[in-house]
Amino acid sequence: MFPQRFLIALAALIVGLAASGAARADGAGHRDSKAFDRDSALVLSRSAVGRTLSAHSLTGSDGTPVTLASFEGRPLVVSFIYTSCVHTCPIVTQTLDRAVEVARDTLGRDGFRVATIGFDTPRDTPERMAIFAREQGVGDEDWLFLSADAETLAALSGELGFVFFRSPKGFDHITQTTLIDGEGRVVRQIYGPNFEPPALVEPLMDLALGRPLTGDSLGGLIDRLRLFCTIYDPRLGRYRLDYSIFVAFAVGTLSLGAVAVFLVRNWHHSRSQGTTL
């Protein structure tokens, strides 16, 4: 007979090995939830800003292959979710949906693209991503819901600074929305499941205003002026033209004009007096 202490230790070892094996079977990136450190996750997330993404291949919700290179030329907004999430991920997606609607209204329908990526491989299949999109009411044609294999997901999440760990409730993960410019470079991280539309729209406007004008296009000039003169109205839930800029410009112009008239008249009066004398 083995001592009772030895049997208890042996049982604990077997349970520990089984749990470790199950965690490894879940795929890359899944770790013990005790290891999740929010401060460290935030540092890793912020360190991704300025990084240029590699060429990754994913799968659309309709089963077609999608490469990150296909997004180049326009800004790309990226969020990570897992489809079995019943709280945070739906909130993140619905918040992003509202912000995207405001951004489309401000920047135009083709100003940027959006990609939501399922990180629970292999459970977040194209079929489940399509169901998730429908459940959240997302119908934007330039918003793709993507799946990836474990190796691709681990590499891409690492480049984007997205940290996630398996936990009893499913996953613990940093809640971030990433903005990537038209050259594939990370330019902004937006944190939290609930954020106001300007958190996304403002940097998108910055990217739009930073693009060089093509030729002497009047339309391009008007678009830049329109973006420059828009402000977010929380009562309307959208951006509107800030006419105070035009009023201030008009008042300033009239004031300068009045000063110029006064100086010219004064000059003529002085000359006429000098001639009379």
- Residue 112's pLDDT is 95
* The pLDDT of residue 6 is above 90: no
**Between 32 and 83, residue with greater pLDDT:** 83
Give me the percent of the chain exceeding a pLDDT of 90. 51
pLDDT at 9: 45
The pLDDT of residue 265 is 72
What is the rounded distance in angstroms from the CA atom of residue 197 to the CA atom of residue 190? 11
The contacts of residue 177 (CB under 8 Å, 6+ apart) are: 77, 78, 79, 92, 96, 189, 190, 191, 195, 200
pLDDT value at 41 more than 50: yes
**DSSP E strands: which ranges in 46-140?**
57-60, 65-67, 76-81, 113-118
Q: What is the pTM of this model?
A: 0.67
Answer for the pair 162, 173: CB distance below 8 angstroms, yes or no: yes
